[in-house]
Amino acid sequence: MPPRVPTVAKVPVAAVSVSAAARLKPFGLVATKVPLTNNLEVPVNQTVTLDAADQKLAKQVTRLTPKTIDDVKAWVGVPDAAFAHPVTPITTPSTVLPVHDAYTPDQTATLYAVARNYIFGHSSAVSPAQIPALNSWLKSIAGSINIILFQDIHVAANAKLVVNPSIAILFARYITIDQGGVIQIKCTHGSINCARITGAAPRVIPVAVNPFPVR
């Protein structure tokens, strides 16, 4: 069922500590230049699916191209602040990964593993000496990440909002999930960026589909 835009937002308006402009800045986006005026309504007992290939959502989807591994960590990774006990920093690795314009499958597998450790673990677990190779590899695969943007999102009672793997980041101001409502994220390492999620019993369910968000 296609998304519907309500005439009146069902999410209460309140002051927030972090503005949309500040939350968009890490993505290299400017609030006045992206579509943040559309609300998304998921009706009672209905399912709405968000997919980057859906032409009806073309104006809401923006393709992001990370320039560095730090971009990927900031967009979909785990921030270092989330770790109560950071690992001991690795300053001198046993082997420094090479910087090339292209990489063999074996090198790619190694870089992929190191990138995962950096993005989803504490960054100090990866030596700074490896960062040039990670950035070079990221450039070689020409990866991109799709973000979909809304003003407010309302998932009604027993409704389901499905975010397909083609979209890694769901961005909104306020998200309200009514009793029995569900947001299902199919990009394993995707993220929801919003000022607030509220509801009777908010449920966000990750579904293991794509092990790495850059494609």
Q: In this structure, which amino acid lies at residue 121?
A: G
Together in a domain, 99 and 131: yes
Judge if 60 and 149 occupy the same domain.
yes
77 in the same domain as 48:
no
Say yes or no: 183 and 203 in one domain. yes
Does the structure show a pLDDT above 90 at 174? yes
How many domains does the chain divide into? 2
pLDDT at 149: 96
- Structural domain including 55 reads 20-64+144-210
**Mean of pLDDT values over 134-153:** 93
Query: Does residue 149 lie in a domain region?
Result: yes
Whether 11 is in a domain gets the answer no
Final residue belonging to a domain, choices 102, 120, 140: 140
What is the per-residue pLDDT for 94?
Answer: 67
Does residue 84 sit in the same domain as residue 125? yes
Look at residue 8 and tell me if it is in a domain. Answer: no
- Of the residues 124, 140, 156, which one is the last residue of a structural domain? 140
More confident residue, 214 or 73: 73
Specify the range with the lowest mean pLDDT, choosing from 14-23, 77-86, 111-120, 133-142: 14-23
Please check whether residues 134 and 154 belong to one and the same domain: no
Residue 93 has what pLDDT?
Answer: 63
Q: CA angle 150-185-55, nearest 5°?
A: 50
**Do 80 and 134 fall into the same domain?**
yes
pLDDT at 13 > cutoff 50 = no
Looking at the fold, whether 83 and 129 belong to one and the same domain comes out as yes
How far does Cα 50 stand from its chain's mean position?
14
179 in any annotated domain: yes
Question: Looking at the structure, do residues 29 and 86 belong to the same domain, yes or no?
Answer: no
Same domain, 132 and 184: no
Does any domain span residue 202?
yes
State percent of the chain over pLDDT 90: 59
Confidence class of residue 62 from pLDDT cuts 50, 70 and 90?
Answer: very high
Asked if the structure places residue 10 within a domain, the reply is no
Residue finishing a domain among 118, 140, 162: 140
Percent of the chain with pLDDT over 70: 80
Over residues 1-25, the mean pLDDT reads 57
Report residue 202's pLDDT band, with 50, 70 and 90 as the boundaries: low
pLDDT value for 200: 72
Q: How confident is the model at residue 63 (pLDDT cuts 50, 70, 90)?
A: very high
pLDDT of residue 8: 34
Residue 52: inside a domain, yes or no? yes
CA atoms within 13 A of residue 125's CA, in its CB half-sphere:
18
Return the pLDDT at 201.
63
Q: 60 and 156 in one domain? A: yes
H or E stretch covering 48: strand 47-50
Check: CB of residue 190 under 8 Å from CB of residue 163: yes
- My answer on whether 197 and 159 are in the same domain is yes
Please report the pLDDT score of residue 5 as a whole number: 41
Q: Which of 28-42, 47-61, 63-77 has the lowest mean pLDDT?
A: 28-42
2: in domain: no
Average confidence score pLDDT of the chain: 84
Closest CA to 69 of 138, 163, 1: 138
Q: What pLDDT digit, counting tens, does each position of 91-125 carry?
A: 556 688 889 988 999 999 999 999 999 999 999 88
pTM of the model: 0.80
Pure H helices in the chain: 20-24, 69-76, 105-120, 131-140
